């Protein structure tokens, strides 16, 4: 049997349930809020617009993302949190405005409203060096057939086909190794 742990925000907990309580697997939750831009201004942007990222940030910085309905979102920001909470804090509107006015000068404070939030599963905490996500066959740790996906965040979805190829190879190798004895 093969078990693939792709439990997202709970992938570290699933690994711990089977006895893999490694510090390197402990996830930190990084919340990202998004704001909606008023439709009159949203129509002025039809592609992604990114700022120059700041050193030490947990993400790429607040950027502009058009959606399929013709709207425009700004975000995400990055805030490490202890628990999962998808409420968008209205007090962040001024911070978002200050963050984007240098590269989106046509946006006014009153053009922004709360939209949505997401949580990114990060392997590094605030102020720590970046750590890439983990895709690992845990046979060497005494768990044959257990494959961990831990800390898969953006660009995890963008990388889905490449990740699938890696996992396919791991599964083929596991099946081959089992038939060898």
- What is the total residue count of the chain? 181
Q: How many domains, in total, are found in the chain?
A: 2
Q: Which of these, 162, 99, 155, lies nearest to 130 by C-alpha position? A: 155
CATH number at residue 40: 3.30.9.10
Judgement on whether residues 38 and 106 belong to the same structural domain of the protein: yes
Query: Residue 146's domain spans which residues?
Result: 3-25+128-179
Structure tokens at 133: 């996500």
Q: Which residues of the chain have pLDDT under 70?
A: 56-59, 179-181
pLDDT in tens, 6-38: 999 999 999 999 999 889 999 999 999 999 999
Does one domain contain both 38 and 105?
A: yes
Last residue of a domain, one of 77, 101, 122: 122
Q: What is the pTM of this model?
A: 0.85
Give 64-74 pLDDT, tens digit per residue.
Answer: 999 999 999 99
The answer to whether residues 99 and 37 belong to one domain is: yes
Residues 34 and 97 in one domain: yes
């Amino acid at each position: 049997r093969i078990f693939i742990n792709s439990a997202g925000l709970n992938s570290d907990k699933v690994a711990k349930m089977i006895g893999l309580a490694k510090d390197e697997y402990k996830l930190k939750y990084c919340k990202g809020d998004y704001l909606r831009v008023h439709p009159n201004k949203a129509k002025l942007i039809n592609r992604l617009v990114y700022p120059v990222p700041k050193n030490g940030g947990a993400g790429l910085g607040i950027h502009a993302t058009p959606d399929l309905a013709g709207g425009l979102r700004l975000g995400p920001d990055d805030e490490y949190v202890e628990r999962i909470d998808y409420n968008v804090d209205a007090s962040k509107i001024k911070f978002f405005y200050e963050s984007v006015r240098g590269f989106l000068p046509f946006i006014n404070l009153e053009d922004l409203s709360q939209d949505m939030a997401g949580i990114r599963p990060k392997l590094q905490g605030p102020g720590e060096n970046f750590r890439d996500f983990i895709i690992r066959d845990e046979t060497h740790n005494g768990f044959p057939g257990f494959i961990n996906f831990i800390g898969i965040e953006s660009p995890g979805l963008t990388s889905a086909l490449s990740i699938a190829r890696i996992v396919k190879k791991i599964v083929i190798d596991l099946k081959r190794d089992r038939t060898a004895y």
